[in-house]
Amino acid sequence: MKTERIGIINVGASAFRMYIGEYSGDSERSLDYLVKPLRIGTDTFTQGYIGLENVKKATEILKIFKLKLEEYGIHKYKALCTSGVREATNQDFFLDYTHLHSGIKLEVLDPSEEVYIKYVGVRNSVPGFSTLEQNGLVFANVSSGNVTLNITLKNKLLYAGTLPYGSLRMRQMFRSISHIKRHKAIEEYVRKMIVSVVATLDPEIKCSHLLGAGSSINLMLRLFKPSGNIITREQLEEIYARVRMMSLVELTEELGLRKDEASVLLPTIITYLQLMDIVKNDYFSFSRLTFPHTMSLYYSGRIKDTHLSSRIKNTLISIAEKYRADTKHARWVNYFARKFFDEFSDLHSLGRDSRVILEASVILHDVGKYVSDDALATNSYHIIKSLKIPGLDSKMLLMAAAVVYEGNKTFHEKEPQEYASMTSAERLTIRKLAGIMLISKALDMGNNRHITDIDIQMSDQIIVYARAEREPYLEMYTFDHQKLLFTETFGTAIELRARISYD
């Protein structure tokens, strides 16, 4: 059985972490784990860029990590940065400088991918996760830079967002306020986050469970040393009452925390206490998996999201519902689109991700109507690209938005800015998927499911035989008018023929 070792480096807002795992078949062995505090987020969140001193310190840490890779003879590694680098205006300089001087090539992790990896990591490590999601789960990834929330009920994603309420960010925001009063400012700020999240939810909805993750968990572990995987409100309130007016020095001395940990203690406690207000239980559970460990499992293929596609589909439907789209129609069109995609695989030669993009485009193709019927393409485009869906990274969502735009655009709508930076291959994919979306949409143009199914015959030209209960006039007409993009993109003629079924 082949054994492989993977090194994962995570450049977070407050610390650099490294995990080295050895994988053989299904077994995993943790070889090494390093933590080096460096608060690059302090620079990013206050001045917008990472100062040169911290760039150099970061390089020194990465040199150490490189030694570790060499120690284990590892050539395969992933070095990923989160918000501390992602939000820095000198991100490119940081990546280039550190690469040049340490030899470690860093990549910036897309926020939605970050959330997704954390999500699947926790999903795989917390027993009964599906039941929790069924009963209503607030999954909170509380880290130094951001708080990411996913609220799920009955397997539908009710809320997904990455919010700039990370503990280090808050600490920096309120650093000029005396430590005697600082907790009040943080309380108020976190409250604002909670209120804005709750406002998007149905007031009747109450989730039963809070599940914490992120670097905040390490702090909780050091603080409470819990034997199980639960921290209660009572524990948090007790420690909060004790420490809320303490200075940094007092926190380090009294609680035996490192300085970097002590500085983010209050924002972390306050965030968890207030998150507990939106669930029924007076405790939160957590997973002990560190983010680098999770990434190691993820990139080595040891954790798989077996329900990914159905969960994405459910989430897309619930988003479509939220924007008052006709979800029955969306599901119907989606059915045809998938059938076309699978049948035309030799024609389009696109992969699994493109299929997911197509599904997202098809289900959400009408969401722009929520704003207005005018400029439907542009409205839908902006809505889709701003979504946060675990399992779909922002690039995929942008592609889905572009497919919808491409399919719905009218001659007076201005091309979105992001188009300029797309490659010709990406543009071609968009056109291919938009071509499929348009002919799929045409098959239920009347939103009445007259066409019950299709059969596809491929020869010199493609003939789609529509099985219908009655003559699908509107669909035939629309198909004929919408197939142009398909024909132009794939260079193949396509024709719809109806077969009416009689009793």
Among 47, 48, 71, 107, binds another protein (CB under 8 A): 71
Binding to another protein by CB under 8 A, coded x per residue (else -) over 337-376, reads: ----------------------------------------
57 near another protein (CB under 8 A)? no
Q: Which residues contact 159 (CB under 8 A, 6 or more apart)?
A: 149, 150, 151, 197, 200, 201
Among 72, 205, 480, 493, binds another protein (CB under 8 A): 72
Is 230:252 a contact under the CB 8 Å cutoff? no
Torsion of CA 368, 401, 81, 50, to 10 degrees: -70
36 near another protein (CB under 8 A)? yes
For the CB of residue 57, give the shortest distance to another protein in the complex, in Å. 12
35 near another protein (CB under 8 A)? yes
User: What's at 177, amino acid-wise?
Assistant: I
Among 28, 37, 224, 237, binds another protein (CB under 8 A): 37
Distance CA 261, CA 244 (A): 15
Interhelix angle for 424-442 vs 473-490, to 10°? 160
Please identify, using beta-carbon distances, which residue of 36 and 156 lies nearer to another protein: 36
Distance CA 354, CA 432 (A): 10
Pick the stretch among 23-31, 297-305, 332-340, 419-427 that binds another protein (CB under 8 A): 23-31
Q: How far is CA 111 from the centre of its chain?
A: 6
Pick the stretch among 62-70, 187-195, 247-255, 431-439 that binds another protein (CB under 8 A): 62-70
Please identify, using beta-carbon distances, which residue of 29 and 304 lies nearer to another protein: 29
470 near another protein (CB under 8 A)? no
Distance CA 309, CA 359 (A): 10
Ranges of H-type helices in 349-393? 352-363, 376-385
3-class SS of residue 474 = helix
For the CB of residue 7, give the shortest distance to another protein in the complex, in Å. 12
| Total of residues contacting another protein (CB under 8 A) | 23
Q: Interaction with another protein in 126-165: which residues (CB under 8 A)?
A: none
68 near another protein (CB under 8 A)? yes
* Sheet with 462-468, side-by-side order of all strands: 451-458, 462-468, 494-500
24 near another protein (CB under 8 A)? yes
30 near another protein (CB under 8 A)? yes
Among 2, 75, 352, 414, binds another protein (CB under 8 A): 2
Distance CA 317, CA 329 (A): 11
Using H for helix, E for strand and C for coil, what is the string for 118-171?
A: HHHHHHHHCCCHHHHHHHCEEEEEECCCCEEEEEEECCEEEEEEEECCCHHHHH
Distance CA 52, CA 58 (A): 10
3 near another protein (CB under 8 A)? yes
34 near another protein (CB under 8 A)? yes
* Sheet with 209-213, side-by-side order of all strands: 156-163, 147-153, 137-142, 209-213, 283-286, 230-232
Please identify, using beta-carbon distances, which residue of 33 and 159 lies nearer to another protein: 33
Among 47, 48, 64, 175, binds another protein (CB under 8 A): 64
Closest CA to 266 of 282, 255, 279, 277: 255
For the CB of residue 73, give the shortest distance to another protein in the complex, in Å. 5
Please identify, using beta-carbon distances, which residue of 63 and 179 lies nearer to another protein: 63
5 near another protein (CB under 8 A)? yes
Closest CA to 302 of 44, 31, 25, 62: 25
Q: Interaction with another protein in 234-263: which residues (CB under 8 A)?
A: 258, 260
For the CB of residue 261, give the shortest distance to another protein in the complex, in Å. 9
Which residues would be at the binding site for another protein (CB under 8 A)?
Answer: 2-3, 5, 22, 24, 29-37, 64, 67-68, 70-73, 258, 260
